[in-house]
């Protein structure tokens, strides 16, 4: 499966959900916003959201600080 992740083409074993992509990338869903094809995926829907070949995914990380 070919995806564009944060503007970079990447290849993954499919099929894959949004939650599965986060797991493969070792990212915590509580600290990331997932945008799929320019639409934000709500956290409760990450497990159900199936990714398709050619999808564009943007991952925005929360950064804490003082």
pLDDT tens for 26-50 read 999 999 999 999 999 999 999 999 9
What is the structure's pLDDT at 61? 87
What is the structure's pLDDT at 24? 97
Q: Are 57 and 3 contacting, i.e. CB atoms less than 8 angstroms apart?
A: yes
Domain count, the chain: 1
Domain residues for 18?
A: 2-61
pTM of the model: 0.91
Predicted confidence band of residue 66 (pLDDT cuts 50, 70, 90) = low
Domain harbouring 52, CATH code: 3.10.20.30
DSSP 8-state code for residue 13 = -
Q: Are 48 and 20 contacting, i.e. CB atoms less than 8 angstroms apart?
A: no
Asked whether residue 31 is assigned to any structural domain, the reply reads yes
Q: Hunting for tokens 């992509």 — which residue is that?
A: 21
SS3 content of the chain, % helix, strand, coil (to 5): 20, 40, 40
Asked whether residue 66 is assigned to any structural domain, the reply reads no
The three-class DSSP label of residue 43 is helix
């Amino acid at each position: 499966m070919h995806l564009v992740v944060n503007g970079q083409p990447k290849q993954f074993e499919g099929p894959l959900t949004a939650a599965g992509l986060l797991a493969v990338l070792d990212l915590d869903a509580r600290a990331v916003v997932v945008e799929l094809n320019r639409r934000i995926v709500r956290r409760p829907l990450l497990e159900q959201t199936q990714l398709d070949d050619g999808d564009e995914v943007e991952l925005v990380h929360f950064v804490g600080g003082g």
